[in-house]
Amino acid sequence: MKNILVTGGCGFIGSNFLRLMCTKYPNYNFVNLDKLTYAGNLENLDGVNSANYFFEKVDICDSLKVKTVFEKYAIDTVINFAAESHVDRSIFGAFDFIQTNIVGTQILLENAKEFQVEKFLQISTDEVYGSLSDTGKFTETTPLHPNSTYSASKSSADLIALAYHHTFGLNVLITRCSNNYGPYQFPEKLIPLMIINALNNISLPIYGNGMNVRDWLYVEDHCLAIDSVLHIGKFGEVYNIGGNNEWRNIDIVKLILKKLNKPESLIAFVKDRLGHDFRYAIDSSKITNELNWKPIYDFENGISNTINWYLENKTWWKKIISGEYKNYYKLQYEKARS
């Protein structure tokens, strides 16, 4: 591997990945291909090692431009982070989800095949498995049962990627991770939204009764898992990645309020998300046993780092929440109140 194409590198996980990997692997070139949607932010890459980092503003659905990038940089490895990633937005409209998450992934796979890349790593999600009741965990053999158009589009992409492996021998790897949290996460997601609202003394909207459960993983741990799968994962395999760290939404929100010394009276229970998955929990024994990966951060450290980052980077999020995000927020949370 020499020339690695990282798509969606201006988003939350992609930017954390690039910041870590450009320094860790000075002999690799990292080409960040990103459309810069509402979720993509060039400021997320401030401070990245510039000697081996390149940026191309391109839509993964634009096959001609994608091809030009493969040629220009002699791409030999692809890591596909690019996606529409927010479930609530997929409820407003699925078009961009189908385009980017399915059509865009197929365009990348086709180029990867044509240019005979060494590896294609598809970044997927535990949401492809659907929802759990109070017990059990998702393993790699749990049947796919996506419930939102977001997770259905990610499931489709996984199946298409595996078909490229089976049919054409493309060296595909897939990771399915649980909920990430950490620096640079766009304010629409639960943890940054609650931190920012608490800092602004505005209400913290919890969907339904707050009993839904997610398995939270610090973003750097996800990036290190991707690093392991990229280097020593077996082609054609799926690897689940999780934090073994389940929290009910209400308990996370109360913890954030406590850490920020804010009153619980800021909590507002609002109308539930349509089709809201009850619980996600990941069994990551495969990646732990086979690739020797396990999380480094415990939740106490991870959440404190995250809260501190949002406290120290108010300029970053104030710019976001004062822009187009205001319209999204109004639409989403007025709907939730009605």
Interaction site with ligand DAU (CB under 6 A): 85-87, 125-127, 178-179, 189-190, 193, 205-207, 212, 214, 249, 273, 280
Q: What's the closest the beta carbon of residue 161 comes to ligand NAD, in angstroms?
A: 12
Residue in the block written with tokens 């990282």: 6
Q: What's the closest the beta carbon of residue 154 comes to ligand NAD, in angstroms?
A: 6
The residue (of 231 and 271) whose beta carbon lies closer to ligand DAU is: 271
Please say if 127 is a catalytic residue.
Answer: yes
List the catalytic residue out of 34, 59, 76, 126. Answer: 126
Q: What's the closest the beta carbon of residue 63 comes to ligand NAD, in angstroms?
A: 12
Please say if 334 is a catalytic residue.
Answer: no
DSSP labels, 241-306: E--S-EEEHHHHHHHHHHHTT--GGGEEEEPPPTT---B--B--HHHHHHH-------HHHHHHHH
* Alpha carbons within 13 A on the beta-carbon side of 25: 16
List the catalytic residue out of 127, 215, 246, 277. Answer: 127
Instruction: For residue 2, count CB atoms less than 10 angstroms from its CB and return exposed for 0-12, middle for 13-18, buried for 19 or more.
Output: middle
For the chain, report the end-to-end CA distance as a whole number of angstroms: 53
Alpha-carbon gap, residue 260 to 204, rounded angstroms:
13
Q: What's the closest the beta carbon of residue 97 comes to ligand DAU, in angstroms?
A: 11
- Residue type (1 letter), 224: L
Sole binder of ligand NAD in the list 3, 100, 245, 249 (CB under 6 A): 100
Alpha-carbon gap, residue 331 to 337, rounded angstroms:
10
**Residue 214 contact partner, candidates ligand NAD, ligand DAU, none, CB within 5 to 8 A by sort of partner:** ligand DAU
Q: List the catalytic residues.
A: 126-127, 150
Residues forming the site for ligand NAD (CB under 6 A): 7-8, 10-14, 34-37, 39-40, 59-61, 81-85, 100, 104, 123, 125, 154, 177, 179-180, 186
